[in-house]
Amino acid sequence: MKRVEITMQTDSVVVEALLGQADALDAYAMESQQAAAKAKTLANERESILQRTLNDIGDPEARAAALAKMTCCDKETS
């Protein structure tokens, strides 16, 4: 059996990342992704707390008033 060796010219960062030997992102990009993930986690926790609080209010009118107070003027961005 004849062996043929082919060398492809590629960016070493990409190859190392694909092989699992290095990160494909620089430190800033990694921190940026971690910050975005943390922000989504905090938003989910906030929503969970809001839902639990509203579920504890039995009176529908009081629940609606509480929801209006808790969500009024939120400036969240998606």
pLDDT in tens, 29-39: 788 889 999 99
Identify the domain containing residue 52 by its residue range. Answer: 26-71
Whether the per-residue pLDDT at 41 is higher than 90: the answer is: yes
Q: Is residue 56 part of a domain?
A: yes
This model's pTM is above 0.75: no
Q: Is residue 55 part of a domain?
A: yes
**Residue 67, amino acid:** L
Q: Is residue 16 part of a domain?
A: no
Sequence-distant (≥ 6) Cβ neighbours of residue 60 within 8 angstroms: none
Quote the number of domains for the chain: 1
Q: How far apart are alpha carbons 26 and 13 in whole angstroms?
A: 10
